[in-house]
Structure 1
Amino acid sequence: MRVAVVGASGYVGSRLAPELLRRGHEVVATRHRSAADHVTAYPWAGDVEWRRVDVQDEDAVIAALDGVDAVCYLVHGLDDADFMERDRRAADNVAYAVGVVGATRLVYFSGIVPDLPDDELSDHLLSRLEVEEVLATADCPVLTLRASMVVGAGSTSFEVMRQMSHRLGVVQTVPAWMAGSVIQPVAVADAVWFLAEALERPDVTGHLDVVGPDRLSYVALLRTYAAEARLLRVQLPVWLAPVGAVARVAGSLVDVPSGTVQSLIPSLGHDMVGEQDAADVLGEPAEGRLGVAEAIRRSLAPGRAGDGTPDGAALDGDPQAPSAGDPPWSRHRSVLEWVWAAARGR
């Protein structure tokens, strides 16, 4: 099968491409026309057909999807102030293009959306839901896979947790509005397995939740990370922590782009657990799903890409591990390195 991975230069796409290649599929990998050339560092970059595309341009999307059998849509815009409008327009272009080129399968990787009125959802979650609804109009079988936090070295949400855990010191203040929220993280290795399975199962439509086996509070998640990273950390809930202020502070403390962090933080006040487990429909990975502790442990394994450690995006690598193609902000820096870089304005 010829599969287009729209957003292959992103984190999940970088781990999905080798999974599809391992299964014997041909991969058409798309990236934005202005995307950096760092994607050539992915070990599989020479094994796919690259096509540059601006998803805001309908004709360009049609051209990029020409000749494919299935499409996996992984594009999410959080940095732009008008990301909701841009995501809506891009989804409309993809839904239309799928019908024009005659693709027979469309899979979208989204976020778990709590069952709440729209006015109680963050813009981030509301946008994911709108994109899902637009893509569902495509002229082929469509499935949305929803996930909460994706655990893996290089994942945006994982890197925010990692960098905050290392930089906040022994006593970590946790806003009370998120401390008790329950989350069901999924290892990236399992996420890409479910995506590949979904692409091969056009009989399954609607939406399913891609989750790991553990449900835990955000405080418990932070404690699990600290234990696996061998950090002494104490979480202290605080009540006077407005969402906007927390988002701004978090954005200034990590290397992840500030706009992305500020868009993600408001969603942490919601429970993010699966209600329709994808495993009940698509089955389980051969060795079962990774628990949170093991997923974190593998993501923190000694060694970095380029030092002889297998690349996380290699066909024979561990998807949990870092890749040479991951963005620079995902490189772990010690507190001293971070302070020195911050002092120099980097």
Structure 2
Amino acid sequence: MQAFVSGASGYVGSRLIPSLLGAGHSVVAGFRDPAKASGYAWADQVEVRPFDLQDADSARAALTGCEVGYFLVHSMTSSGYVDREAEAARNFAAACEAAGCRSMVYLSGIVPEGELSDHLTSRLQVEEILTEESPVPVMVFRAAVVLGAGSTSFELIRRLVQRMPVLPAPQWLDHRVQPVAAADVVRVLIEAGESTPWNGHRDLVGPTVLSYPELISLFAEELGLSRTSLPLPDLSYDVAGPVMAKITGMPENTVTELVKSMGHDMVGDPENSVVGRIGAREAVRRAVTGAPTGTAADGDRQTAAGSDPDWVGDASVIDEPGLRSTLGHWRKLLQGAPAELQERLRRALG
């Protein structure tokens, strides 16, 4: 098949492309700035086309001649992304229809019950637009946390564990999650593109169900670190998000949106799930110990890649013995953090 990959420079897209090539498929990679494709080892094996999802004509031209369109665009780095992604989805659906694609494949997020964060709302809205505004069948896979070096959710947990000997445990963190390995995501997406098209959604999950605290403990164990938790039942999302972003060095809006999504059970529907082969522990272990070959032709999709953002990878563990107290340690980490959090920590620690 000839596959078009939007989000080619993103986490999933950059790992999907070499696996598509390895499976014998031809690939068209969409880049807003085609010159940036040279940073990927697979660049000379694909057709790179200029592609701007905010421009309907650009999207239509980029998809010409393609059989399957992979929609892998999702960015939470700035406000207003919900509307931008809705427009992008409409342009992508129209472009796939004009190109005569036999199917679209979209990686979405699990949709839990209750009030959704902007992050999950956007995922669902894109799914509905792709499904309702084009006659091209859309195969939607809803995933929760993707476990693999370079995944935003993965790096958030890793960097918090590495940089904080005492981890805050807000009440909203006590939910279940069914994470899926990056290698399983890539495999399932390829199999979908190769299959007879169907229209609708399936949850894409791993074989392991844990609570978020259990997942955090698993990370600590695989990183060889001893970590304890501190209950902070009244810690709000709006305080936790910016502080976690400061600690991890990751984009604030992205981290805050992910934190808000943790207030739900993110597990698959047992009646409508594709279950991966790789358990959570193996997925984390391969991600933190493997050489960075994530986008190489024969690489391990669980691992990092040179093209990942600079906040991916080892986060310089902070375990300084000279700090007098846990509160003192947190104060050092959170210099400039909101006074509300400082006061809550002070009260919690007595």
What is the TM-score of this pair, normalised by structure 2? 0.87
Alignment match of 1:195 (pick from 164, 189, 199): 189
Q: Give the alignment of 1:80-91 within 5 angstroms.
A: 80-91=78-89
Alignment match of 2:48 (pick from 47, 50, 57): 50
Unpaired stretches in structure 1, ≥5 consecutive residues = 306-310
Is 1:32 the counterpart of 2:32 in the alignment? yes
Is 1:326 the counterpart of 2:308 in the alignment? yes
The one-letter code matched in structure 2 to 1:228 is: E
The one-letter code matched in structure 2 to 1:146 is: R
Q: Which has the larger radius of gyration?
A: 2
Q: Give the alignment of 1:42-81 within 5 angstroms.
A: 42-81=40-79
Equivalent-residue separation in structure 2 for 1:154 and 1:2 (angstroms): 26
Q: CA RMSD in A?
A: 2.2
User: Which deviations, in whole Å up to 9, do the C-alpha atoms of 1:153-192 show, x marking residues without a partner?
Assistant: 11111011111111112x21111111x2000000000001
The one-letter code matched in structure 2 to 1:134 is: I
> Any conservation in 1 of the 2:163–2:318 contact (CA below 8 Å)?
no
Q: Give the alignment of 1:1-346 within 5 angstroms.
A: 1-33=1-33, 37=36, 39-116=37-114, 120-137=115-132, 138-169=134-165, 171-178=166-173, 180-275=174-269, 276-279=271-274, 289-301=277-289, 303=291, 305=292, 311-335=293-317
> Any conservation in 2 of the 1:42–1:323 contact (CA below 8 Å)?
no
The one-letter code matched in structure 1 to 2:32 is: H
Deviation at 1:333, TM superposition (A): 3.0
Question: Aligned residues, how many?
Answer: 322
What is the TM-score of this pair, normalised by structure 1? 0.88
Deviation at 1:43, TM superposition (A): 2.0
Equivalent-residue separation in structure 1 for 2:56 and 2:197 (angstroms): 27
> Any conservation in 2 of the 1:98–1:139 contact (CA below 8 Å)?
no
> Any conservation in 1 of the 2:237–2:256 contact (CA below 8 Å)?
no
User: Which deviations, in whole Å up to 9, do the C-alpha atoms of 1:269-293 show, x marking residues without a partner?
Assistant: 00100105443xxxx7xxx611111
Deviation at 1:2, TM superposition (A): 0.4
Deviation at 1:31, TM superposition (A): 2.2
> Any conservation in 2 of the 1:256–1:330 contact (CA below 8 Å)?
no
Q: Which residue of 1 aligns with 2:343?
A: none
> Any conservation in 2 of the 1:299–1:320 contact (CA below 8 Å)?
yes
Describe the shift of the 1:49–1:151 C-alpha distance in structure 2 as closer, same or farther (beyond 3 A).
same
Greater alpha carbon shift after TM alignment, 80-89 vs 327-336:
327-336
Unpaired stretches in structure 2, ≥5 consecutive residues = 320-328, 336-350
Describe the shift of the 1:68–1:203 C-alpha distance in structure 2 as closer, same or farther (beyond 3 A).
closer
The one-letter code matched in structure 2 to 1:166 is: Q
The one-letter code matched in structure 2 to 1:194 is: V
Q: Secondary structure at the match of 1:248?
A: helix
Describe the shift of the 1:202–1:80 C-alpha distance in structure 2 as closer, same or farther (beyond 3 A).
farther
Question: Identity over the aligned pairs, expressed in percent?
Answer: 44
Q: Secondary structure at the match of 1:164?
A: helix
